[in-house]
Amino acid sequence: MTERPHLLIVEDEPAIRTPLQRYLEREGFRVTAVGDAAGARETLPKGAFAMVILDIMLPGEDGLSLARHIRSQGSLPILFLSAKAEDIDRIVGLEMGADDYLTKPFNPRELLARVKAILRRSDHEGHSAPNASLCRFDRFTLDSARQTLSDDEGPIDLTSGEYRLLRVLVERPGRVLSRDQLLDLTKGREAGPFDRSVDNAVMRLRRKLGEDGADLIRTVHGAGYCLAADVERG
């Protein structure tokens, strides 16, 4: 990376937040630190962040809810911090879309190693590539910067909900996502328990993708949906 990666720390305990910020800055990172989810929501649009180090137990909106919001906006890497060390807590955190999960208390060197590993993976997958906003699959191109979809014949009109759903699938090609996961990633806290918008959006998307729509957005019975296509970024 030619520029120092910019990290966002979301941690309500000053005794952890401030030393961690200083440590990572000494290790060559640019670091912004906030104490709650509201501060993170305000800060995220203002900077080109490489990843988020996110405490789960926050005052007000918790880290899991904030992670859903971050995931609904894209694929920014997330490292969860938590005082909860049970396997179920780690599994829930990873299922919410975290790239890694570290329990408190932690060794700063271990956190640094995990941050570097996540950033290496992110670079490899194209998260930080200059033209990563373009994703090509089959005969289609999804432009996340312009929030548009096009094929060989020109632009394809999508609603905002259809675009969000397609972007989530395109960012995770071949991965089966349950209806609940898709609701979390596309609507977050707005989703209700009987929300059928994912199913409706899938049907509309398939129609707009043409005769191959059902093959591209595949139903995995009893599990969910997946994008059954290779994705080229950049």
**Does 171 lie in the same domain as 77?**
no
Q: Is the domain of 214 the same as that of 168?
A: yes
154 and 223: one domain?
Answer: yes
Give the CATH number for residue 69. 3.40.50.2300
Q: Please check whether residues 118 and 145 belong to one and the same domain.
A: no
pLDDT attached to residue 139:
93
Type of residue at 41: R
Higher-confidence residue: 88 or 149?
149
Pair (71, 139) in one structural domain: no
Select from 83, 98, 125 the last residue of a domain. 125
6-10 and 30-34 as β-strands: parallel, antiparallel, unpaired?
A: parallel
Cβ(53)–Cβ(95) below 8 Å? no
Mean pLDDT of 64-74: 83
User: Could you tell me if 94 and 167 lie in one domain?
Assistant: no
Average pLDDT over every residue of 93-98: 69
Tokens of 56: 């789960």
Low-confidence winner among 21-25, 27-31, 144-148, 211-215 (lowest mean pLDDT): 144-148
Pair 102, 12 in one domain: yes
Please indicate, yes or no, whether residues 37 and 86 belong to a single structural domain of this protein: yes
Q: Tell me, what DSSP letter sits at residue 98?
A: -
What pLDDT does 68 receive?
Answer: 85
3 CB-side CA count, 13 A: 11
Instruction: Report helix, strand or coil for 191.
Output: coil
**CB-CB contact of 11 with 17 (8 Å):** yes
Report the percent of the chain where pLDDT is more than 70. Answer: 83
49 plus 99 within the same structural domain: yes
- Distance (Å, whole) CA 214 – CA 197: 17
Domain that holds residue 108: 6-125
Residue that is last in its domain, among 125, 148, 167: 125
- Structurally, how many domains does the chain consist of? 2
**SS3 (DSSP) at 57:** coil
- Per-residue pLDDT, 160: 78
Same domain for 111 and 50: yes
The chain-wide mean pLDDT, for the chain, equals 83
Decide which of 98 and 219 is more confident: 219
**Domain membership flag for residue 93:** yes
For residues 76 and 106, membership in a common domain is answered with: yes
Contacts of 183 (CB under 8 A, 6+ apart): 191, 195, 197, 198
78 DSSP β-pair partners:
52
Q: What is the CATH number of the domain that holds 210?
A: 1.10.10.10
Report angle CA 39, 111, 1 to the nearest 5 degrees. 80
Tokens of 232: 């080229």
Which helix (H) or strand (E) segment holds residue 215: the answer is: helix 213-216
- Say how far apart CA 97 and CA 76 lie, in whole Å: 10
Q: How many residues does the chain have?
A: 234
Write down the pTM of the prediction: 0.55
Identify the residue with better confidence: 23 or 188. 23
The mean per-residue pLDDT over the stretch 94-115 comes to 86
Tell me what pLDDT residue 75 has. 74
Give SS3 for 1: coil
Cβ(184)–Cβ(68) below 8 Å: yes
